[in-house]
Amino acid sequence: MIAELRNYDHSLKKQLRSDVKYYCIDTGFVNAVSFLFSENIGRLYENIVFNEFVRRGQGTGLFFLNEGGYECDFIIQEKGRITALYQVCYELHDKNMEREVAGLVMACKKFGLPGGTIITEHQQKTLMVDGVRIEVVPVTAFLLGFG
């Protein structure tokens, strides 16, 4: 019913002692046991994206990164290399733009990637921040394999 996601570290020992995020296999269960406020919708989208990564077979190489006061929601590791970075939020707006973008930029710089993706409810655009290319895509496009 519940899956866990570990904070990324090169050391397996540190990963096992790190913070953990939990996701429900059935998002209906999340709705049944929690209050639905607007800030929780972003968390529900994050849960949907997690389940999609697992469906795509990327569950074993999936992590998050919490470092230096910033967080990147999903890190994809394939064959020992970090290949993609994702943030998830319901909507990018003035109140959360800096936090969401900064977490993704931090992770891109740490892993030497040229860019990452922010998944939202409906927004679609490209941002360049501190030399990092950020693609903002709707969750529907991501789920259909276009993001």
Span 47-59, pLDDT tens digits: 999 999 999 998 7
Residue 29 confidence (pLDDT) = 66
Q: Which residue has the higher pLDDT, 90 or 41?
A: 90
Residue-wise pLDDT for 101-127, tens only, equals 999 999 999 999 999 999 999 999 999
Residue-wise pLDDT for 11-46, tens only, equals 666 656 667 888 888 777 666 666 555 557 888 899
CA 72 to chain centre: 6
Residue 83 confidence (pLDDT) = 96
Residue that is written with structure tokens 């866990």 in the block: 4
Task: Give the start-to-end residue ranges of the domains of the chain.
Answer: 2-143
Rg from Cα positions in the chain: 15
CA distance 131 to 108: 10
Predicted structure pTM score: 0.88
Q: Give the count of beta carbons closer than 10 Å to the beta carbon of residue 14.
A: 12
Q: CA–CA distance from 2 to each of 25, 47, 77 (Å)?
A: 6, 11, 21
